[in-house]
Amino acid sequence: METHFGVDVVTPPEQIGALYDSIFEQFDCDGNGTVDRDEFRSELRKMMLAIADGLGSSPIQIAVDDGDGKSFLKEAADLEAAKIAAAISPP
């Protein structure tokens, strides 16, 4: 979807429907037409990690600096991302 600051843009219903469908498909990992608790938890965790990773390089980093020049939030996000990568990597 396109956003123009200061200009109202009407998004066609088909485009909104396609967006919602793609979001649902992202959450419905097994493709069975429903989103169970584990699928929801998994996708929400990925979203939160992505947000935390992005915050680690923004001005908020200054507020959560733990003294060694690194963001505590970024370190936590990196740790969780490493756990996920290790869990999905083949043995």
pLDDT in tens, 11-70: 888 999 999 999 999 999 999 999 999 999 999 888 888 877 766 555 555 445 556 666
CA angle 15, 20, 23 (to 5 degrees): 125
More confident site: 33 or 75: 33
Query: Looking at residue 11, what is its pLDDT?
Result: 82
Q: Is 4 helix (H, G, I), strand (E, B) or coil?
A: strand
More confident site: 48 or 71: 48
Query: Looking at residue 84, what is its pLDDT?
Result: 84
Query: Looking at residue 53, what is its pLDDT?
Result: 73
Query: Looking at residue 55, what is its pLDDT?
Result: 62
